[in-house]
């Protein structure tokens, strides 16, 4: 299939054609015998990595291998909150790089990822919460990131339907607000990166599961797949909740626990909530999608597992939290529930870099918060693979920090209980 070139006239031409005649946005090539770089995992991070490898580093012989369909993992299962208000400088700079890429992403990809900077509130319900919020806002500002502390009165003025009563079980004492934060359309992010990578010559191969990593004398030589072996001297693994499974194929044990994380959407409503509200204390967060559904999430399910479902008590807990914050939603009917598998590290920060196997790189451990990092993660991982060395932004996030002890504790800023 011929690769697409996009022009200002494509939209007009397609508007007048029947949709069956639309050309596919990316090709479906058969895997070649070998590639310069193989990326395992066709989520947002893997596709972004391939795109930036091609665009920033001139790589042309690149494949993305996806066991299912692109964006079918956590990329298509998350609640799409984007923010960069992390506590420590190392994390703040990495997430802020991503925020800056988000701000130009639709134009860069020539694909509307529906990035909507509608603001993100992180609520505080105790004096300790408020001290933590003030500390984080100050740290954010020192790193040049927009952040402010807002009072219950200001929160109520902005979000009329929120419950700021002092009599609530967990009264709202204030919040941090990042106005540049918001949401994006998750599928569009995968599709936009896929189309752009494809147009730069990247092979996107779906239904291609990696079943083994070929390591010879401490070097990666290729991968085994359900569609045959593929040779490559450079392999980047970006498989979110399945990172430990892939690492084990190369004899590596990662400091990662895999947990289900659930989300829910309601029946569609008229616009009632034009911002994002998160509360780590009551364990719930909520926004309203452009379709009108309330998009709701909670903390992780406490047990380890690979089932993309989640347990009933977490559903109950999340609904209690949301109804406590927004009593008006008590009569809304929920429509769908699902889970994704998140890979949580001991310091709630990602692992992005090389491994003891030469030519084998891992990008994982984003846990409950990697959607917001999609462009930034792909950008630094592409640099790492192209140069066989980390970019200064991801240098602190190497696997070695778990032996040197240079951990970056972001449990608080992760804002989701785990
Ligand atoms: P994925 O999109 O999971 O992509 C990995 C891909 O690897 C998958 O498509 C999978 O099929 C493929 N794969 C696995 N094994 C193999 C194999 N052997 N061979 C080939 N392919 C393989 N983050 C935020 O920033 N904001 C949020 O609001 C937010 N909410 C969330 C809510 C939920 C319910 C969940 C589950 C996660 C949430 N996250 C959020 C986290 C975020 O979704 C992830 O960190 C991020 O999407 C990870 O992207 P990825 O591309 O690394 O992973
Ligand atoms: O990291 O902002 C976040 C988040 C929200 C919901 C899940 N993760």
Q: What's the pLDDT at 6?
A: 61
Does residue 81 have its Cβ closer than 6 Å to ligand 2? yes
Planar angle of CA 79, 83, 89, nearest 5 degrees:
135
CB count within 10 Å of CB 23 equals 11
Nearest to 183 by CA among 242, 126, 265, 239: 265
SS3 content of the chain, % helix, strand, coil (to 5): 35, 25, 40
User: Helices 89-109 and 186-199 sit at what angle, rounded to 10 degrees?
Assistant: 70
Question: Is residue 31 in contact with ligand 1, taking CB distance under 6 Å?
Answer: no
Alpha-carbon gap, residue 254 to 125, rounded angstroms? 35
Q: How far apart are CA 39 and CA 37, in angstroms?
A: 7
Would you give the end-to-end CA distance of the chain in angstroms?
A: 45
User: What backbone torsions phi and psi does residue 37 show, to the nearest 5 degrees?
Assistant: -135, 135
Spell out the per-residue pLDDT of the chain, length 418, in tens: 556 566 667 767 777 777 777 778 999 999 999 999 999 999 999 999 999 999 999 999 999 999 999 999 999 999 999 999 999 999 999 999 999 999 999 999 999 999 999 999 999 999 999 999 999 999 999 999 999 999 999 999 999 999 999 999 999 999 999 999 999 999 999 999 999 999 999 999 999 999 999 999 999 999 999 999 999 999 999 999 999 999 999 999 999 999 999 999 999 999 999 999 999 988 899 999 999 999 999 899 999 999 888 889 999 999 999 999 999 999 999 999 999 999 999 999 999 999 999 999 999 999 999 999 999 999 999 999 999 999 999 999 999 999 999 999 999 887 777 7
Residues 6 or more apart in contact with residue 268 via CB below 8 angstroms: 291, 292, 293
Residues composing the chain: 418
- Measured in angstroms, how far is the CA atom of residue 415 from the centroid of ligand 2? 7
Helix, strand, or coil (residue 393): coil
Q: Is 416 in the pocket of ligand 2 (CB under 6 A)?
A: yes
What burial letters (b/e) apply to 126-157, b meaning 16+ CB within 10 Å? eeebbebbeebbebbeebebbbebbebebbee
Q: Residue 21: what pLDDT?
A: 73
User: Does this model's pTM top 0.85?
Assistant: yes
**Cα–ligand 1 centroid distance for 238 (angstroms):** 9
Question: What gap in Å lies between CA 95 and CA 25, rounded to an integer?
Answer: 29
Yes or no: say if 135 and 168 are a contact pair by the CB < 8 Å rule: no
How far away, in angstroms, is 342 Cα from ligand 1 center? 7
125 C-alpha vs ligand 1 centroid, how far in Å? 30
Please answer whether residues 117 and 181 qualify as being in contact, where contact means their C-beta atoms are separated by less than 8 angstroms.
yes
């Amino acid at each position: 299939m011929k690769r697409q070139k996009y022009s200002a006239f494509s939209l007009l031409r397609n508007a007048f054609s029947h949709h069956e005649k639309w050309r596919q946005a990316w090709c479906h090539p058969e895997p070649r015998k070998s590639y310069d770089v193989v990326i395992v995992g066709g989520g947002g991070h893997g596709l972004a990595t391939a795109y930036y490898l091609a665009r920033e580093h001139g790589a042309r012989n690149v494949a993305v291998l996806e066991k299912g369909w692109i964006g079918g993992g956590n990329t298509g299962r998350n609640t799409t909150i984007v923010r960069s208000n992390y506590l420590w400088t190392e994390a703040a700079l990495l997430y802020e790089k991503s925020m800056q890429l988000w701000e130009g992403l639709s134009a860069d990809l020539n694909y509307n990822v529906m990035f909507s900077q509608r603001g993100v509130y992180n609520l505080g319900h105790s004096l300790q919460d408020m001290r933590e919020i003030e500390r984080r806002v100050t740290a954010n500002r020192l790193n040049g990131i927009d952040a402010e502390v807002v009072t219950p009165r200001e929160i109520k003025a902005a979000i009329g339907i929120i419950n700021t009563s002092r009599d609530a079980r967990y009264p709202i004492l204030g919040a941090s607000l990042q106005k540049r934060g918001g949401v994006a359309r998750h599928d569009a992010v995968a599709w936009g990166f896929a189309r752009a990578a494809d147009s730069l010559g990247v092979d996107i191969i779906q239904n291609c599961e990696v079943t083994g990593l070929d390591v010879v004398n401490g070097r990666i030589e290729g991968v085994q797949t359900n569609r045959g072996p593929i040779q490559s001297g450079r392999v980047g693994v970006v498989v979110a909740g399945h990172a430990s499974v892939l690492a084990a194929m190369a004899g590596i044990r990662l400091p990662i626990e895999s947990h289900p994380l659930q989300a829910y959407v309601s029946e569609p409503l008229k616009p009632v909530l034009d911002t994002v509200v998160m509360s780590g204390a009551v364990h719930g967060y909520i926004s309203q999608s452009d379709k009108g559904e309330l998009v709701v999430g909670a903390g992780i399910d406490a047990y380890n597992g690979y089932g993309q479902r989640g347990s009933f008590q977490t559903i109950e807990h999340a609904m209690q939290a949301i109804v406590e914050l927004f009593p008006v939603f008590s009569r809304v009917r929920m429509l769908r529930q699902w889970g994704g598998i998140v890979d949580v590290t001991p310091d709630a920060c990602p692992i992005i870099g090389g491994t003891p196997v030469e030519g084998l790189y891992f990008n994982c451990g984003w846990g409950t918060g990697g959607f917001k990092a999609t462009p930034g993660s792909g950008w630094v991982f592409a640099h790492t693979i192209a140069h066989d060395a980390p970019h200064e932004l991801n240098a602190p996030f190497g696997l070695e920090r778990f032996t040197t002890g240079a951990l970056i504790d972001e449990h608080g800023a992760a804002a989701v209980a785990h």
